[in-house]
Every structure is written in C-alpha cells, then in structure tokens.
C-alpha cells in the first residue's frame, strides 16, 4: 500500500486470498476426519443401544414362556408361548401366545400376534441359538422341558454377543 492511500492493493488482496485458501486446504481434511470419527462413534453408540434393547426383549420373551412341554428350538429358530405383562416387540400383553424368534441373514426376527419385527441386525458374523437344561451343557436342539436359551453372534472366530434367557419363570434354585 502506498503512503497516503487507504485500502489494499490488488496484489495484497490476492496474497491474502491465496494464504487463506492454502490454510483451508490444510485444515478441511482434518475437520472432515474428525467429523467422520464422530459419526462413527455415534453409529456405534446407536448399535449398542439397539442391541441392549433387543437383549431386553429377548430375555422378556424367554422369561415369560408359559408352555412347559412345547418349547421347540433349533439353531436358527425357537418357538415360545409367552404370557407377558407389557407389550414387547412382536407380542402383546396378555395370555399365552405363539411367538417365533428366528435368525435370518444378518438379523434376529420376532414374529407374533402383533406382527414381524427385527430385534437386531448385524453386518458380519454367524448367529445361532443353543439350549441347555442346566446352564452348563449346551446343545443345538431343544424340545420339551424348560431350561435356558442362548443367542450368540460369532465374528472372526469369537463370540461378540451372547444373551442367555431362562425359558419360563425362575426356578426356586438357579444353577450356579
């Protein structure tokens, strides 16, 4: 700027714009990565909350089972007859009703009187149900007396989700 004149010359203005643009080019990728990490963290938090809700519904359905001899279970599905106090996923509050929990590609589905609902979803891994009379020895088939049901999701060779539900009301003495 020349002595006695006010404002910036064209060259000075271009230098300021160039420096500002270079700073923006350096800082925008950092801001973008930080935003991406924040979105990923929020996504994981929602997944955890959804899984906790699905686990609560799974346990409520298993624990409210009323039929003592009619429990049918396979590695990919279980048929229950819960009598629950409040609405849960695919079952309405009230007397015994037929509910089917099934494992489909990448999701756990609940089917009952109030419709078909996805309890939880996953992108990778294998899920299965297993069953036990005493909570110690587990098998992949179940028919008959109450016991325990386990939903398990295995990813990369390790169990990432394992929910265990008592089939029916708790006995007087639970196994250790």
Question: What is the model's pLDDT at position 171?
Answer: 56
Question: What is the model's pLDDT at position 51?
Answer: 84
Least confident of 25-34, 142-151, 163-172: 163-172
Question: What is the model's pLDDT at position 172?
Answer: 52
Q: Exposed, middle or buried: residue 18 (CB in 10 Å: 0-12, 13-18, 19+)? A: exposed
On whether the CB atoms of residues 111 and 90 are closer than 8 A, the answer is yes
Q: Could you tell me the strand order of the sheet in which 148-155 lies?
A: 126-132, 148-155, 158-166
Question: What is the model's pLDDT at position 73?
Answer: 86
Question: What is the model's pLDDT at position 104?
Answer: 94
Q: Quick: pLDDT tens for 51-103.
A: 888 899 998 888 888 765 567 788 999 988 888 888 888 888 887 888 999 99
Q: Quick: pLDDT tens for 9-66.
A: 888 888 999 999 888 888 888 888 888 888 888 877 887 888 888 899 998 888 888 7
pTM above 0.75, yes or no: no
Whether pLDDT at 148 is above 60: yes
Query: What's the average model confidence in pLDDT over 127-142?
Result: 89
In degrees, rounded to 5, the angle at the alpha carbon of residue 55 between the alpha carbons of residues 43 and 79 is 130
In degrees, rounded to 5, the angle at the alpha carbon of residue 52 between the alpha carbons of residues 47 and 54 is 95
Whole-angstrom Cα distance, residue 172 to residue 115? 34
Quote helix, strand, coil % in the chain, to nearest 5.
Answer: 30, 35, 35
Q: Coil, strand or helix: which one is 124? A: coil
């Amino acid at each position: 700027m020349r002595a006695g004149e006010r404002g910036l010359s064209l060259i000075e203005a271009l230098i300021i714009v160039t420096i500002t643009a270079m700073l923006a080019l350096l800082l925008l990728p950092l801001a973008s990565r930080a935003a991406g990490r924040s979105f990923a963290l929020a996504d994981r938090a929602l997944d955890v909350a959804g899984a906790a809700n699905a686990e609560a519904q799974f346990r409520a359905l298993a624990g409210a089972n009323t039929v003592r001899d009619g429990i049918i279970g396979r590695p990919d599905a279980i048929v229950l007859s819960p009598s629950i106090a409040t609405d849960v996923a695919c079952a309405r509050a009230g007397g015994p009703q037929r509910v089917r929990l099934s494992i489909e590609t990448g999701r756990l589905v609940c089917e009952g009187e109030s419709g078909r609902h996805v309890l939880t979803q996953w992108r990778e891994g294998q899920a299965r149900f297993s069953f036990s009379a005493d909570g110690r020895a587990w098998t992949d088939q179940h028919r008959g007396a109450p016991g325990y049901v386990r939903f398990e999701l295995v990813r990369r060779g390790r169990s990432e989700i394992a929910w265990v539900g008592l089939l029916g009301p708790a006995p007087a003495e639970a196994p250790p």
